[in-house]
Structure 1
C-alpha cells in the first residue's frame, strides 16, 4: 500500500517542461506549458493526497494544520468546476484526518470517504489533458504551414535548409509532448483503478491477498509511468529554436533566422 501510493504520487506529479527562447526580432519566447495552470493545480492536489496516503500507510502523522488545498481549489475551479470541487473536498478530508490524528488503522475509512473525489478529480484532469492535446494539435498544424511557406519563400539553399531544420526540431517537440500527454492520461487511469481497488478492499488492506492485488496495480502503474518522457524538450541548450508564430499568423521574413535564437531547456526527471 505504501509503495503503491508513493509511486502514484510521483507519477501524478509528472513535471511540465518549458523551453525558453530569445529571438532578436520577436523577443523572448516561452512555448505553451505541457498543462495549463488549472490542471497543474489539480495535479499538485492529487500528488499531495497520494503522498498523504503513503505517509498514513507507514503509520506516519499528517501535519496539515490548515486546509492544504484552498488555493489549489480556486486555481482548479477556474477551468473545471468538478475538478475544483474535488480538490476542495480532498483538502477538507486531509484536514479532518490531521485533526483526528489519523494513523494507519484509519486509512481504509479515509480511502472510502475520498474515492468519489479522487475519481472526479482524475476525470477532470484527463479531460483537461485531452482538451490541451486538441488545442495544441491545431497549433502544431499552423506552425507546420508557416514553415512550409517560409521554405518556399527562401531564396538560397542555406536559408531553406536552416528553416527545414528548425521546423523539424519544433515539430519533434510537439510530437514528444503529444506522446507524453497520451501516456500521462494512461498513468491517471491506472491511478484511478488502483484507488478503486483500495476502496474495494478497504476493510482488508492488511491481508496478503489484498497486498498481492495492490502490488500488481503498482507494477501496472510503474509500466505506464516508464513510458513518460523524462524531458519534453529534446533540444539541448544552445540549439537554435524556431521563431514564434507572428501576430495574426503572418509569415515572418525568410531571413529572420540570420541571427538564430538559442534555446535554454529545463530537464527534470520525475522519478
Structure 2
C-alpha cells in the first residue's frame, strides 16, 4: 500500500474485512518534533497473522506499543472489536486485559517461579482462583514443552525457554489479540527456530497475531498479511505471497533485496 496523502480520506488497506477484529485509521505518533508513525491504516481479521517488517527504527515496535496503549497517540483511531482503544475516556487497564504482549526482552519476574510468573495476571487482574489459574498454566506449559520447568526460576532457563515462558504468560490471560515484538531478536540463532515453532503452533490454533519481526522466512510462510514500514509510513501492505514475490513499491523491493541478500 502506498503512502496516503495527508489531505485524503484513509482507504481500507488491502485484505481488509468488513468487520476486522483490529482496525487502525490515520494513526500518528510523534516524539517532540519527530513523527515516528504517520497516517497508519491497518485492518487485522480474527485468526489472522500479520507480520510487520522493515528496518530497525521504521516504527514497528512503536505501532505495537500504541495498540497496547503503552504509548499515547497524537491522531487517529484504534478499535479492538467495537471498543475504541484510542478513546481518552477508556479504562486502559480494562482494555489491556483483552491483549497479550510479548517483548524481545522476556520481562519475567526473576524472583518468581515460572508457574508464579504465568499465574500472576490471571490471579491478580482476572481474579481467578489460584487452583484454576495453576491448572490452566500447567496445561499451557505442557503444551509448549515446559511442563518440567514450572518450579524453576527464570535464570535457570535458556533464552528460548524464557521466551516460550513469556509467550505462555501472555496466553494465560486468554487474549483476543496477541502482539509479538521482535521476540527472537535477543536469542542465539539456534534458539530462534524453537520460538518460531511456538508461534506457528499459535497460528494453527487460530490466534490473532500482530508480529514485528526480522525473520523474513517466517513472515513469508506463516503470515496472512505482511505490512512493510519505512520511516513510520506503511509503504506496502498485502499478502505474504504478493509482498515477497511481486512487491509493487520500490522501497519494498530495496528492503527485501538488502535483507534477503544478507
Q: TM-score, normalised by structure 1?
A: 0.26
Larger Rg: 1
Q: TM-score, normalised by structure 2?
A: 0.27
Q: Which has the higher strand share?
A: 2
Q: Which has the higher helix share?
A: 1
